[in-house]
Amino acid sequence: MISKTMEQALNKQVNRELYSAYLYLAMSSHFESVNMKGFAKWMRIQAKEEQMHALKIYDYIITRGGTVSLLDIEAPKAKWSSAGKVFDEVYSHEQKVTAMIHGLVDLAIKEKDHATFEMLQWFVKEQVEEEQHASEIVNQIKIVGDIVGHLFYLDHQLGKRE
Ligand code: FEO
């Protein structure tokens, strides 16, 4: 059984993962609106991954005899001024999520909750990858700059994500 404090903290993380899904879906929709189908596809797959993250914690709460409480999901913004700005936001958002996961790990340590600590290790590793992928794309966009042809090439490359 998890403590009420941990239950509340994990429920909040379910909400933040669902917000991440919402944010990336908004980014996908934005890219659709500017006809960058590859970026749109990348974001849509990312949104799906975030739903999976939320459900992983959701299932864990239930497995440990806790209660899932779904909270309001705030609406993300809908427009960005450039592909670079979108990915800058992805990177900083993922850094925030990493800090949240680390906060949960700290709480698990404080509560001597070994099972939750173990479950969270998957997320600790996942965040390393999430930050790496976002920062790589930020750098790629910086390299291609405002050259439209190069940006469309990058769009095509990101569209290969499965
Ligand atoms: Fe679920 Fe992108 O962190």
Entry pTM: 0.95
- Ligand 1 binding pocket (C-beta < 6 A) is 17, 20, 50, 53, 94, 97, 130
Calpha distance 121→41 (Å, rounded): 28
Task: Kindly give the number of the ligand 1 atom that is closest to the alpha carbon of 50.
Answer: 1
| Residue 131 CA, ligand 1 centroid: distance in Å | 9
- Give the tokens for residue 95: 């850094």
User: Is the Cβ–Cβ distance between 135 and 91 less than 8 Å?
Assistant: yes
| Residue 21 CA, ligand 1 centroid: distance in Å | 8
Note the pLDDT tens digit of each residue in 4-45.
Answer: 999 999 999 999 999 999 999 999 999 999 999 999 999 999
User: Is the Cβ–Cβ distance between 79 and 30 less than 8 Å?
Assistant: yes
Task: Kindly give the number of the ligand 1 atom that is closest to the alpha carbon of 53.
Answer: 1
Note the pLDDT tens digit of each residue in 59-88.
Answer: 999 999 999 999 999 999 999 999 999 999
Task: Kindly give the number of the ligand 1 atom that is closest to the alpha carbon of 17.
Answer: 1
Instruction: Give the domain ranges of the chain.
Output: 4-158
User: Is the Cβ–Cβ distance between 127 and 101 less than 8 Å?
Assistant: yes
Determine the CATH number of domain 4-158.
1.20.1260.10
